Amino acid sequence: MFNRNRGLRRVAAIVSISSLVTGCGILSSDSSEDEGPIVVGTTSAPSTLDPAASWDGSWELFRNIYQTLLSYPNGATAPQPDAAEECAFTDSTNQVYRCELRDGLTFSNGDRLDARAVKHSIDRIKDINVNGGPAGLLGSLERVQAPSEREVVFHLNKPDATFPFVLATPAMSIVEPGSYPAKELREDGQVVGSGPYTLESYEDGERAELVRNDHYEGFADRENKAVTIRYFKDSAGMVKALRDGDIQVTYRGLAADDVVTLQGKAGRDEELQLVEGSGTEISYLVFNPEDPWAGRKEVRRAVAQVIDRAAIAHTIHQDTVDPLYSMVPKGLTGHTTGFFDDYGDPSVPKAREILTGAGITERVPLTLWYTTDRYGSETAKEFKEIKRQLDSSGLFRVTLKSRPWKTYVTGYQKGEYPVFGRGWSPDFPDAENFIAPFVGEQNALGTPYPAPEITGELLPRSRRESDRANVEREFERAQQIMLDDARLLPLWQGKQYVAANADISGAEQAMDPSTIMMMWRLSRKTSW
């Protein structure tokens, strides 16, 4: 969960499907199989096909072509068995976790999937240890054992009740040992997995063609025979393809303007159904403690007192996001509204009082950085609005700067930015994943954040508790500490959008708790 370089998945995700059928005729549930694959569009192209290298949007593809020991059957919010028949901690300290595999599992090439394959898959993640890769999720893992063909035992170096959530992430996909080297990545563009689909063909940055895996044994009840995923550079091109009938589904990267259009008359005229759901993606500001101004708590608190989240959500994002007043989003155990409780509505007089109380009477110079190509087309507009709010208060003088993501990451890891924007999408749906990655000497932000009570007491205590409903007090206390420090300033929480043509069903159930699309849920309806 640490050392992670992955960005917030785009706020507006939409699933939209047009019928490929013209004329009249009876369509049954098998008609989608007869008519060819459902074509899905997204702006989230994989960075790799090897699970050992990915802690990013590649997980969207992995969920559908690989299998994990645990996953999220329809409607589940906690990990349930998938490749495993059963899993559980076998000790009272949450340090030994045992899984028994389903009997008779095989990979798509027919080779046996056994405990040895699981051990190989997990071990190679740690051994290869890709910079910014998923090895950071395995910080509590000491070793893996495969005592029998169907038994896998994970020994942890500390209590960690969140380990089942880690095993359910697509990063822990099971790969075939003969096709994936133990000490290096596979880079031939081929895949051998055991998921619901096999990868029939792949063009990097262009398309992935998925067909039903006849060897699959798991919980997924596949409603279609094949899916083609097309990768787009931006929302405009993707929406044009949707309206032209070149694709039937889009699920990542839709701009707020497009969401609003589809919510309105244009969407209805095009016979698109739009389903809105809650999401857990968040956006926030990071203050560099080494900067002479951003490093002062009073400056950070004054910024928190001026920022108008509701205006950002309404004016810039057109209400496709919600204002957020804690680093833990709504819907997760332990969520609070601390920034609203302490600061209330935006107030320039209160902010001025905070600054003058610290002896700061001049306008505070701040440089705010954002990335140009990671979090969507609204990012630049959002930072211009933040600059407008702070400048118009008369308390700050803001300079905006930006970089593409690859160089942006390098900059904040080197501590070059006084204040910068980041986003976060959860590895798993637990408050832990919105606190632990941001604190400690080494964290996902590249800016050390010593928080000894959180790292030394609250998180270790929460990880001993298997019933996550019983860790509310620990997370509330952690959020209070983060609120007092004001090192991180939450801005908004994203929503999910799924749009579908009238001829498509399953789109409303297609997102798992981490907002990854389960392609097998999509189908064409029975109709005349």
The amino acid at 211 = V
Mean pLDDT by 10 residues, the chain (528 residues): 33 30 33 72 87 86 97 84 96 94 96 98 94 81 97 96 94 96 94 97 95 94 94 84 85 84 75 78 95 97 98 94 95 94 97 98 97 83 97 98 86 92 86 90 80 94 88 96 97 84 81 86 72
Question: For residue 64, which phi and psi values (nearest 5 degrees)?
Answer: -100, -15
CA distances to 96, 289, 442, 519 from 455, rounded to whole Å, are 22, 18, 11, 38
Cross-strand partners of 84: 101
The set of residues, in sequence order, having a beta carbon less than 8 Å from that of 24 and lying 6+ positions away, is 528
The amino acid at 29 = S
Instruction: Enter the pTM of the model.
Output: 0.79
pLDDT confidence of residue 12? 32
The amino acid at 457 = E
262: which 2 tokens? 């589809």
Question: Minimal CA–CA distance to 170: which of 186, 190, 141, 193?
Answer: 193
Residue 419 contacts residue 294 (beta carbons within 8 Å): yes
pLDDT confidence of residue 526? 61
pLDDT confidence of residue 402? 97
pLDDT confidence of residue 252? 78
The set of residues, in sequence order, having a beta carbon less than 8 Å from that of 237 and lying 6+ positions away, is none
Residue 255 contacts residue 378 (beta carbons within 8 Å): yes
Residues counted in the chain: 528
CA distances to 233, 263, 281 from 496, rounded to whole Å, are 20, 13, 9
